[in-house]
Structure formats: C-alpha cells, structure tokens
Amino acid sequence: MDRFFTWFAGVISFAAGQPLAFILAFLTILVWAVTGPMFAYSDTWQLVINTGTTIVTFLMVFLIQNSTNRDAAAMQAKLDELIRAAIEARNEFVGIEHFTESELERLRKALEDEIADEIGGAHQSVRHLLERR
C-alpha cells in the first residue's frame, strides 16, 4: 500500500504541475461559466463547481504533502551525507531539521555572528547583508 501511494502521489503531483493540467482546469471553469445561462445560474449549477473544486483541493493537499515530505526527507539525507563527507564540515549539523523553530533561530544567529567575525572588514557587502537581518 505504501509503495502504491508513493507512486500514485508522485504521478499525480507531477501531472498537476504540468501546463496541460492548468489548461484542463481553466477549460473546466470556462465550460462551467458558459453553461451558467443554460441553467439560469441555479444553486445546483453553483454547487457542481463548488463541490468539484473542494473535492479536488482536499485530495490534492494530501498528495502534494506526501510528495513534499518525501522530497524534503531525500534532500535532508543528501545534505547529511555531504556534511558527513566534507572534511571540514561539522557533523553536529546532521539532523538539525528536528530542532524547534527557536533552536534553529538561535543556531542561525550564532552562525551569522561567527561568519561576521571571520570575514572582518574585508567583505563589507556580506557584513551589510548580515546586519540587515
């Protein structure tokens, strides 16, 4: 089941990001709008598009989130491997994606301070960018 859902979510996410998907969605809305006078802009006519778009949106949220989670996990694994493999990299950075927001903010600030100390006055443009934050 897990493999099928992963495959299905990937296929649908890829297809939804294609220009053809946008064109089909646009044409659907266009057909719906043009048929308005035929159905006297009835409540049922409005309910059809509202229900259809709600169902599609609801399902797409789960499929896209699944794809996003997989992509983020794969990216973290690749970055962790690069950190591990780089001679001068600090292995303590492996796994920081599990930190809380405040822990990440403290780490970011410490890194910026460390970088600012290292570059001194030689790179004023970088210092200016760091100070803007």
Note whether 23 and 41 are same-domain residues. Answer: yes
Note whether 90 and 36 are same-domain residues. Answer: yes
For 67-106, what is each residue's pLDDT tens digit? 888 889 899 999 888 888 888 888 888 888 888 889 888 8
Note whether 126 and 74 are same-domain residues. Answer: no
- Tell me how far apart the alpha carbons of residues 25 and 57 are, in angstroms, rounded to a whole number: 12
Note whether 81 and 107 are same-domain residues. Answer: no
Find the mean pLDDT for residues 119-132. 59
pLDDT at position 44: 95
Instruction: For residue 97, give the nearest of 84, 107, 112 by alpha carbon.
Output: 107
Note whether 85 and 105 are same-domain residues. Answer: no
Q: If you count DSSP H runs as helices and E runs as strands, how many of each does the chain have, helices first?
A: 5, 0
Note whether 18 and 60 are same-domain residues. Answer: yes
- Tell me how far apart the alpha carbons of residues 32 and 1 are, in angstroms, rounded to a whole number: 36
Note whether 90 and 41 are same-domain residues. Answer: yes
Note whether 123 and 92 are same-domain residues. Answer: no
Domain residues for the domain of 106 are: 100-133
Note whether 43 and 24 are same-domain residues. Answer: yes
- Tell me how far apart the alpha carbons of residues 48 and 27 are, in angstroms, rounded to a whole number: 15
pLDDT at position 40: 95
**Number of structural domains the chain divides into:** 2
Note whether 37 and 93 are same-domain residues. Answer: yes
pLDDT at position 123: 56
Note whether 90 and 34 are same-domain residues. Answer: yes
Q: Which two tokens stand for residue 107?
A: 């780490």
